[in-house]
Amino acid sequence: MQIAILLFDGVVALDAVGPYDVLKLLPGADVRLVSAEAGEVRSDGPLKLVATDSLDAVQRPDIVVVPGGPGAREAGRDERVLAWIRGAHEHTRYTTSVCWGSELLGAAGLLRDVEATGHWLVREELAQHGAIVVDRRVVVSGRIVTSAGVSAGIDMALGLAALVAGEDVARRIQLVLEYAPEPPFAGAGDPAGADTSLVSELRDGYARSKPPATTRR
């Protein structure tokens, strides 16, 4: 079972590495880290990742994982990336996203009339791609599976493991990873429970960082 995890400059590392650490433990998993060209890819910080394959080398994966990050905006304007997502989706068992990665699925035309989620800062924008926006951590819509911000990629990957290999396998992987989160600040990771002033600050900062509407897809 070939699993392709898309990389691009400006990716959030955990968006890719979280699902990687889960999915690599699936029986028969052949995980490929793919980018426009094989080689080093910059994350949104000092950490660098290495793409094992170019997009051209991985055309028909069984599973696609599209992470997010600030670089997703630029990747969403790269027709080569969008064409690869569309082409791969024709053959996948599941096409998935983490965080802002759902924006890339939308830009590729895969979310029209599809229930989907993403990072809370970009959920409203998914509607511009015709998505039915859902305020949930993981959303399964047929062959498309989307997840919320960053850490939700681990939840998505465990759910995906259950879909493709059964709950016993997924539970074993969860135990191997000792994935039993106990965040130190209850409610702080959800805008519904977080400090309202902080939520507003982050929304304002995100709005200021967006490029002009005329340059966006």
Q: In 10 A of CB 181, how many CB atoms? A: 8
The amino acid at residue 88 is A
| Tokens at 207, concatenated | 């709005």
Measure CA of the first residue to CA of the last residue in the chain; give whole Å: 33
Nearest CA to 153 out of 81, 84, 73, 97 is that of 97
> 151 is written with which tokens?
């850490």
On the 0-12 / 13-18 / 19+ scale of CB atoms within 10 A, 44 is: middle
Q: What is the set of active-site residues?
A: 99
Task: Tell me the sheet residues that pair with 178.
Answer: none
Rounded alpha-carbon distances, angstroms, from residue 87 to 59, 61, 81, 119: 7, 10, 10, 25
User: What's the sign of the alpha-carbon dihedral 188, 189, 194, 195?
Assistant: positive
Return phi, psi of residue 23, to 5°. -70, -25
